[in-house]
Structure 1
């Protein structure tokens, strides 16, 4: 695992540099820089819009008395998208814009998290009503 992370930290900037040089060779240095700045500006704007939408969804979930766990994972992916979009380079911009697509984010979350509906009280359909966490407690004064 450390070897994979090390190769990403070394390989990703080299790939980004290669693409920047190739694009700069085709369209020129100043348009390449302008394009990189433009993607950062557009990406920041999109991240901000999706972040506010996420805050509204978190508020709705919390108003229903549920834990916004999936929304928090969605927010983490939006944060990663923002980081990718601020980094100079076209590969990271592509990954950042891809993470801003909600169906792709849902697919990413579903790859790592298994959602199990909450069990209700006996006779109550699963997934309806408050979530109950059973356990023992002791009050210490």
Structure 2
């Protein structure tokens, strides 16, 4: 993993500089700078607009009791897109626009959730929570944590509306 990140951060700037020089030779240096600045502004506007819409969709899902997993993945992609779009370069702009466009972002987010979502495991630091209403509850456990298998390998259907938990009455 470290080697891949090193290659990404070592090779990508070299490719960006070479591309900026080549484009600058063809259309002129100031025109190239203008394109880089314009793409940064357009990208920032797009990321902001899409971010607000994604947040609204996530809030709507949470109000209806659903987990906004897709929206969370899209929000992460928008965050990455924002960084890429304000970074000077054509390759980073291309990737940033892919991550921010409303047609491609949901597809990329869905792919990431299907292929990497089973690697995310949530742990809780304490054994029990007190609700203050005389109950003591253990942390929620997902079907995935109980079976110790990735979701896609599980033969049981997944129902995101079911939350399993335990409680103990304290007034007995």
Query: TM-score, normalising length from structure 2?
Result: 0.69
Structure 1 residues 57-79: Cα deviation after superposition (integer angstroms, max 9, x where no partner): 01111110112121111100011
Residue 86 of structure 1 is matched in structure 2 by: 86
Structure 2 unaligned spans of 5+: 118-150, 152-156
Shift of 1:118: 4.7
Alignment partner, residue 42 of structure 1? 42
Q: Higher relative contact order by CA 8 Å / sep ≥ 6: 1 or 2?
A: 1
Q: Given the superposition, is the C-alpha separation of residues 139 and 71 from structure 1 closer, same or farther in structure 2, using an over 3 Å criterion?
A: farther
2:52 aligns with 52
Structure 1 CA distance for aligned equivalents of residues 168 and 5 of structure 2: 45
Aligned length in residues: 131
- What's the counterpart of residue 132 of structure 1? 162
Q: Residue 55 of structure 2 aligns to a residue in which SS? A: helix
Alpha-carbon RMSD across the aligned residues, in angstroms, is: 2.3
Cα offset, 1:111, TM superposition: 2.1
Larger proportion of helix: 1
Shift of 1:139: 6.8
CA contact (8 A) 2:62 2:68 kept: yes
Match of 2:6 in 1: 6
What SS does the aligned partner of 1:88 have?
coil
Aligned to 1:76: 76
| More strand per residue | 2
What TM-score results when the alignment is normalised by the length of structure 1?
0.83
Counterpart of 2:104 in structure 1 is 104
For 1:43 and 1:139, locate their aligned partners in 2 and report how far apart those are by CA, in whole Å: 54
1:94-118: CA deviation from partner (whole Å, max 9, x where unpaired)? 1111112233222222223239875
In structure 1, C-alpha distance between the alignment counterparts of 2:110 and 2:169, rounded to whole Å: 39
